[in-house]
Homo-oligomer: A and B are copies of this chain.
Amino acid sequence: MAEGEFEIIARYFSRSSADRDVLVGIGDDAAVVQASGALAVAVDTLVEDVHFPLGLPAEAVGYRVLAVNLSDMAAMAAQPRWCTLALTLPEPDDSWLQGFADGLFGLADRHSVSLIGGDLTRGPLTVSLQIFGTLNPAAMLTRGGGHVGDDIYVTGTLGDSAAGLMLIKEGAGNKGPEHAALQERFLWPEARVIAGRALGPIASAGIDISDGLLADLGHLCHASGCGASVDVERLPLSAELLSVCPPTIAEAYALSGGDDYELCFTAAPSQAQTVEAVLAGVGCPARRIGRLVGGSGVECRRDGEVFDPVSSGYQHFR
């Protein structure tokens, strides 16, 4: 006989929290936290075969659902504190649950995030995690704070994750360290939480890159009431990405591939040295890739000439 809902929660998900601000944790009708000040709240859902390929290891699923939410906290310059989990499962499977919990808690522990509640239901595999973070409203990042003339930056390198996902879907097997590194980028995304916190007081606007640079920078532009001009020669491309595809394909991945979970942010040109110093201080690489301009939408330039990139990002319902 299958285990009941409550046994599963007790076995895999109930852990005591060392966080003294958790007044009531898992096991009551609601969790209760002691919140003082502004609280950032985000929720992201992963659906099998939509947001991750069928058969993705459970540990990677548990890791991923927290990582993508941590990335939302990073994009607001919030300090992640607590999360809740709404897990819908076709049937209870011990090894899947153990792997999922290992992936989730492994990452949660690294960020001192406590799982304080949730709901476990039966149905098609759907994983929804909600995260709560504290922030200083005077130093939060929003999409809408950019001004014409601000520099546009991205952290890390772009396009690796989308290329890695393609390699996973192709089942290419072991084709060397570059292939492996790209697949790792998809499987274990690193949210830029510390960089986001550091940028809060400096950057004018920010967003995380989940749907592709063009799409997400487009959201930032829309919210800031301006346009953007991106110099594609300045896109940060990894050696691994350039080793598996021609530069134009790598560029397309960087512009339109999703799942990078890097930050795209803007700052006044007068802040350039501060941005560089602060990010160097937290060990986060970043590159200026363009500038906010008048008008609307994102234009791409190569050698100073505007051109039309192939795709304009990824939307779940297109």
Task: Tell me the A residues contacting B by CB distance below 8 Å.
Answer: 1-6, 8, 23-24, 27-51, 71-73, 75-76, 78, 82, 84-86, 88, 92, 116-124, 126, 128, 130-133, 135, 137, 140, 142-144, 206-208, 219, 223, 315-318
Contacts and interface: CB of A to CB of B under 8 A. Distances in A.
A317 B8 contact: yes
Nearest to A89: B317
B88 A45 contact: yes
B120 A41 contact: no
A50 B143 contact: no
Contact of A39 (B32, B118, B208): B32
A72 B30 contact: yes
Given A6-B219, A34-B37, 10 more contacts: A4-B316, A27-B223, A28-B143, A30-B42, A44-B86, A47-B122, A49-B123, A92-B317, A120-B317, A130-B130
A41 B116 contact: yes
Going nearest first, the 6 A-B pairs with the smallest beta carbon separation are A47-B123, A30-B42, A29-B75, A124-B124, A35-B35, A30-B40
Given A30-B78, A316-B5, A45 B86 contact: yes
Contacts of A132: 41
B4 A315 contact: yes
A122 B33 contact: no
A27 B144 CA distance: 10
Contacts of A219: 6
Nearest to A208: B29
Contacts of A46: 121
Given A39-B39, A43-B86, A143-B27, A121 B32 contact: no
Given A35-B37, A41-B117, A315 B124 contact: no
Copies of this chain, complex-wide, total 2
A17 to B, nearest CB: 13
B119 A43 contact: yes
Contact of A133 (B2, B30, B133): B30
A42 B29 contact: yes
Contacts of A128: 43, 45, 86, 119, 126, 128
B135 A50 contact: no
A118 B43 contact: yes
23 contacts: A1-B318, A2-B318, A5-B315, A27-B143, A27-B223, A29-B76, A30-B42, A31-B42, A32-B140, A34-B38, A41-B132, A43-B117, A43-B118, A43-B128, A43-B130, A45-B128, A47-B88, A47-B122, A49-B123, A50-B123, A119-B128, A122-B317, A126-B128
Contact of A35 (B2, B38, B119): B38
